[in-house]
């Protein structure tokens, strides 16, 4: 199976002697059936020309965030949404620093900051630059942000030195992208179920007891499963988090509702129950609002006692 067929790949080329390898990356991806669009940074144009890039990609080359013609279409948004994956090759120490700091001073860095797609970074720099503590800190930050690194390799460098910092070869970069797309394709047949957030157990129509939960963990798990190709369903109690695009969303309030919806969405290949389900509910629910002047005594019953009838 050709996992590159009709895939949209955005290639960002930064300034460095390894930029010449980006031309081979374009050729390999195009030959495999991908559509490739490119962004050249200002310094990248010192190493490869827009003409050579556009000739290989058969697409327009993007380079200026302040172009009236380009930004009429809001390229920094449209390009990231168009792409199935974004590859930065080569990525320099300067670009690593900018992206790790959240800078958006040119089209390339703005696209990366505005992206909602998986971003791959293929570094290329002198061994001392790669080993510098500031670079290492930036790498840790970027990995925590979800960026994936390809390389660098150990070998001879254009500067005459030897060590880690050499850009990974185009074929290996292509294989990394292939594995990414193949995993997503294979996961499409799998169903994932995630529960998140708290449940509210009502005392009367306006009052309830609950377990405190933001729901963030469950939402992040669902997002990760979605990004890896799973057909994902998220059953969530009340939270302040926006619903996730591309995820089947089911809103519930009580533990009983969450339990019923969970049963309705089983079986699943992956089930992760991260919701903070209330351990108790009020045994005698009041159909009308309890007056403030009334004496309030709550009798609670454990969760399993009122849910076991559904099993």
Structure tokens at 178: 């292939």
Distances (CA, A) of 2 to 176, 190, 237: 14, 20, 40
**Using CA atoms, how far apart are residues 82 and 89, in angstroms rounded to an integer?**
19
- If we measure between CA atoms, which residue out of 273, 246, 247 comes closest to residue 262? 273
Paired tokens of 82? 């168009």
User: Residue with structure tokens 């290639």?
Assistant: 11
- Token code pair at residue 85: 């994956």
Would residue 224 show up in a list of annotated catalytic residues for this protein? no
CA 113 to chain centre: 12
Q: Positive or negative CA dihedral for 55, 57, 58, 64? A: negative
DSSP single-letter state for residue 198: B
CB-CB contact of 159 with 132 (8 Å): no
User: Which of 74, 158, 159, 296 is flagged as catalytic?
Assistant: 159
Active centre residues (catalytic): 159
């Amino acid at each position: 199976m050709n996992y590159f067929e009709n895939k949209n790949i955005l290639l960002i080329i930064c300034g460095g002697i390894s930029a010449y390898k980006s031309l081979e990356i374009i050729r390999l991806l195009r030959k495999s059936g991908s559509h490739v669009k490119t962004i050249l940074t200002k310094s990248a144009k010192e190493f490869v020309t827009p003409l050579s890039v556009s000739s290989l990609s058969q697409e327009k080359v993007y380079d200026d965030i302040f172009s009236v013609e380009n930004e009429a279409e809001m390229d920094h948004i449209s390009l990231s949404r168009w792409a199935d994956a974004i590859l930065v090759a080569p990525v320099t120490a300067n670009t690593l620093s900018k992206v790790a700091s959240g800078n958006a001073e040119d089209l390339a860095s703005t696209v990366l900051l505005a992206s909602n797609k998986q971003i791959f970074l293929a570094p290329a720099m002198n061994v001392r630059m790669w080993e510098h503590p500031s670079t290492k800190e930036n790498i840790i930050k970027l990995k925590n942000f979800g960026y994936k690194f390809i390389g660098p390799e150990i070998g001879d460098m254009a500067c005459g030195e030897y060590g880690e910092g050499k850009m990974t070869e185009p074929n290996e970069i292509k294989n990394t992208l292939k594995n990414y797309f193949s995993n997503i394709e294979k996961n499409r047949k799998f169903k994932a179920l995630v529960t998140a957030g708290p449940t509210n157990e009502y005392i009367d129509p306006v009052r309830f007891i609950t377990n405190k939960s933001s729901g963030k963990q469950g939402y992040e798990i669902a997002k990760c499963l979605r990004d890896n190709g799973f057909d994902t369903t998220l059953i969530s109690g009340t939270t302040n988090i926006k619903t996730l695009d591309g995820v089947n969303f089911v809103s519930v309030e009580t533990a009983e509702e969450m339990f019923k919806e969970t049963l309705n969405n089983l079986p699943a290949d992956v089930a992760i129950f991260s919701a903070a389900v209330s351990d108790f509910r009020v045994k005698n629910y009041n159909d009308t609002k309890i007056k403030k002047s009334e004496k309030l005594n709550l009798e609670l019953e454990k969760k399993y006692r009122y849910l076991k009838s559904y099993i």
